[in-house]
A and B are shown apart, each in its own frame.
Chain A
Amino acid sequence: MKSVKGISIFLLLSSVTAAGFQNCGPGFEALQVAESLTSVASSFPVITEKRGCKFVGPDVLADRIKNKLGIAGGDFPVLNLSGQEDPNVLRLTSNLDALGKGNIAKGTFDDFSCGAVRFKAAMEVMIDACALALKDRNVQNRLFPRGPRDFEEVYRAFIGRSPTDMEHEVLLDLVNSAPVEKREIMACGVVASSFEALITI
Chain B
Amino acid sequence: MNRRSFLTKTGLLLGGLGVNETFKLDLMEKLARQLLPFAHAQGADAPPRRTIELCFRAGIPMTIFAQGKAFNSTDNLYSNFNYPNNSTARPMPNGATARNIVYNIDSAPLLEYADYIAITQGIVVNPLHTNMFDYREGGPGAGKPSPAVELANANSTQSIVHGVIFPLSGNGGNDVRNSTGGLRDLEKTNNATEFKALFKNPVLRLTAYEVNTVLKAAEKLSRRQALLLDTKLSEATKHVNAHASAVKLFERDLTAELNVQNTMSSFFQRDIQTSASGGQSNRARESLTAVRENLALVLKAFQLNLINSAVITVDVEDWHGYRDGRHQGAIARDMSEMLRAAIRFMQTTPDPAAPELKLWDTTVIVAGSEFARGISAAYGAGDNPDSGTQSFMMIGKNVRGDYYGNFKLGQRGAYGGEVAVGFDPQTGVAYSIESRKRNTAEQAYHTIRAACGLKLSTTEKEKALKAMLRV
Contacts and interface: CB of A to CB of B under 8 A. Distances in A.
A128 B195 CA distance: 22
Contact of B203 (A10, A80, A194): A80
Contact of A107 (B175, B187, B245): B175
A131 B220 CA distance: 20
A59 interface: no
A178 B162 CA distance: 34
| A116, A173, A199: most-surrounded residue (chain B CB, <10 A) | A116
A189 B233 contact: no
Contacts of A90: none
Given A167-B225, A182-B206, A120 B249 contact: yes
Contact of B231 (A17, A31, A34): A34
A95 B185 CA distance: 18
B35 A191 contact: no
Contacts of A191: 221
A144 interface: no
A9 B17 contact: yes
A190 B214 contact: yes
Contact of A113 (B185, B204, B222): B185
Contacts of A128: 202, 204-206
Contacts of A137: none
B32 to A, nearest CB: 11
A97 interface: yes
Count class of interface residues, chain A: 35 or more
Contacts of A32: 34, 234
Given A124-B204, A127-B204, A198-B243, A51 B36 contact: no
Contact of B221 (A27, A28, A79, A194): A194
Given A27-B38, A28-B35, A131-B204, A50 B213 contact: no
A159 B218 CA distance: 13
Q: Interface majority SS on B: helix, strand, loop or mixed?
A: helix
A195 B222 contact: yes
Contacts of A53: 233-236, 239
Contact of B217 (A17, A119, A170, A185): A170
Contacts of B217: 170-171, 173-174, 186, 190
Interface string A159-201: 1000010110011011001110010011001110111101101
Contacts, number: 191
Interface string A98-134: 1000000011100101111111100110011001100
A80 B202 CA distance: 9
A191 B233 CA distance: 19
B234 A51 contact: yes
| A5, A159, A196: most-surrounded residue (chain B CB, <10 A) | A196
A127 B211 contact: yes
Nearest to A6: B27
Contacts of A52: 233-235
B221 A10 contact: no
B330 interface: no
Contacts of A26: 237
Contact of B190 (A5, A106, A173, A189): A106
B215 interface: yes
Contact of A116 (B30, B226, B228, B249): B249
A123 B250 contact: yes
A157 interface: no
A65 B225 CA distance: 22
Nearest to A107: B175
B229 interface: yes
B202 A170 contact: no
A31 B46 CA distance: 25
A115 B34 contact: no
Interface in A43-94: 48, 50-53, 78-81, 83
A115 B162 contact: yes
A116 B161 contact: yes
B161 A115 contact: yes
Interface in B153-198: 160-162, 167, 175, 184-185, 187-188, 190, 194, 197-198
Nearest to B248: A116
A78 B213 CA distance: 21
A101 B232 CA distance: 26
Given A120-B249, A186-B214, A79 B203 contact: yes
A136 interface: no
Given A50-B233, A123-B247, 15 more contacts: A13-B13, A17-B31, A53-B234, A78-B203, A79-B205, A80-B203, A97-B188, A115-B161, A123-B218, A127-B211, A128-B202, A128-B204, A194-B218, A194-B221, A195-B229
Interface of B: 1, 10, 13-14, 17, 19-20, 23, 27, 30-31, 34-38, 160-162, 167, 175, 184-185, 187-188, 190, 194, 197-198, 202-206, 210-211, 213-215, 217-218, 220-226, 228-229, 231-237, 239-240, 242-243, 245-250
Shortest Cβ-Cβ A-B pairs, 5 listed? A195-B222, A119-B246, A131-B205, A116-B245, A120-B246
30 contacts: A9-B17, A9-B19, A10-B27, A10-B30, A13-B10, A16-B13, A24-B1, A27-B237, A29-B37, A29-B235, A35-B231, A108-B188, A111-B188, A115-B162, A117-B198, A118-B246, A123-B218, A128-B204, A159-B225, A164-B228, A182-B210, A185-B206, A189-B206, A194-B218, A194-B225, A195-B239, A195-B240, A195-B243, A196-B222, A201-B233
